[in-house]
Structure 1
Amino acid sequence: MMTLYGRRGWGSVLIEAQLAYYDLPFRFEEVDDLFTSASARKALARINPLAQVPTLLLDDGRVLTESAAITLHLADLTGRDDLVPGADAPERAAFLRWLVFLVTNLYPTFTYADEPTRFVADATAAKAFRARVDDYAQSLWRMVEHAAAAPWFLGERRSALDLYIGVMTRWRPRRPWFLAEAPKLHAIAQAIDAEPAFAGTLARNFAE
């Protein structure tokens, strides 16, 4: 059985939702707040030196990190192409482009700005840094909005990109901003919320 190290509402929800979707057996190991707990970071660093979630311990003992890598691995493991277009699918190139865009460009804006004092010691400068990063993130989201089709990001075909959008739009700048500034992404997020295959995982992670 695989073990997913994560925290409710954090990036691990992206992988938790896919494991549940594929009906793969796994154990969820909840970690303490990695921003505030040195002991939690030290414990997770024994498995993943970056001490980040998601961290997936495969059933043969190997460690897999980075949500995009895990997303591709789970599709290969199950032999399915309903979340990851196959190598010959016409949507494959766009899928890979925007999956990597989300995780290499947008995801780091949370890494750096969720707790900016980790990188900028002065409190006033840290506040300004967070504001600048958030503005930059919004400019990136506008690029994603421009590329999005309907009803799903790739058009008629639902993919893991839609799950990423459904989860990441719950973080800053949050859904009201997307409704006003990125309506296609907002519609995709709402559609993912309504998908029975993901509803349980999302409810567990984002319960008020």
Structure 2
Amino acid sequence: MAITLYAARGGGSAIVEALLTLTGQEYRVEYFSWEDLPNEELLAVNPLGEIPALRLDNGDLLTETAAITLWLGDRFPASKLVPPADDPVRVQFLRRLVWLVAAVYPTFTYGDHPERFVPDKTDAVQLRETTDLRRQALWRQLEKETGGPWICGGRRTALDIFIAVMSCWRPRRQWFAAECPQLFAIAQRVDQLDTLKKVWSRNRLPQT
């Protein structure tokens, strides 16, 4: 059974699609339209109705981008996407991986569809605005902590793929170029990886 990625073009699943490609693992992608999410088919795979979700070659289901990233690192250590347990960079990698999904991701969860969380239109507009500002502050924080050509210094890891994709979302690449030039430079380096050209094309990335 081939690995199947349940995805939506340009979303968080693009991160996993890129990581799968870098491992050399064969996989198939089932794209959902954003307008159709969540739907019954996806809910049967992931009760949260969110992408990405991964059906492994043994039939098991795996969700959550960080969990998928760590699984790929364990299964394909030669890809060097995830530093091994005895690597000094491991602690930094884990902290930033969880930070991205626990701190930055939720600003989209609440900001993209504020009407799901607050019934009043005025409150919904305010929630969108405050989550956007919170996200910008978080990116500036990471910019200050970034000192090498990649997020973890001198080597490329899965985190750099996160940056390349997530910098295409609000406030988008033009903002990063002006406000977080180091993160912008990382994203551009990832953009140029020949191995990922087809992934970016399928996902209509990068976007300004």
Q: State the TM-score, normalized to the length of structure 2.
A: 0.94
**How far off its partner does 1:81 sit?**
5.1
Unaligned runs of 5+ in 2: none
| Higher alpha-carbon deviation: 47-56 or 112-121 | 112-121
Q: Following superposition of structure 1 onto structure 2, how do residues 49-198 of structure 1 map, counting pairs within 5 Å?
A: 49-80=47-78, 82-198=80-196
Which residue does the alignment assign to 2:32?
A: 31
Q: Which runs of 4+ in 1 moved over 4 A?
A: none
**How far off its partner does 1:83 sit?**
1.1
Which residue does the alignment assign to 1:15?
A: 16
Q: Separation in 2 of the partners of 1:115 and 1:81?
A: 36
Q: Deviations over 1:125-173 (max 9, x none)?
A: 2111100110011111111111112211111111111110011000001
**How far off its partner does 1:197 sit?**
2.2
**How far off its partner does 1:203 sit?**
2.2
Letter in 2 for 1:161: L
Which residue does the alignment assign to 2:7?
A: 6
Percent identity, aligned pairs only?
Answer: 46
Letter in 2 for 1:72: L
Q: Separation in 1 of the partners of 2:183 and 2:197?
A: 18
Q: Separation in 2 of the partners of 1:121 and 1:23?
A: 46
Q: Separation in 1 of the partners of 2:169 and 2:204?
A: 10
Q: Separation in 1 of the partners of 2:71 and 2:146?
A: 24
Q: 2:201 aligns with which of 200, 203, 207?
A: 203
Letter in 2 for 1:75: G
Q: State the TM-score, normalized to the length of structure 1.
A: 0.94
- Report the 3-state secondary structure (helix = DSSP H, G, I; strand = E; otherwise coil) of the residue aligned with 2:45: coil
Q: Separation in 2 of the partners of 1:105 and 1:83?
A: 21
Letter in 1 for 2:16: I
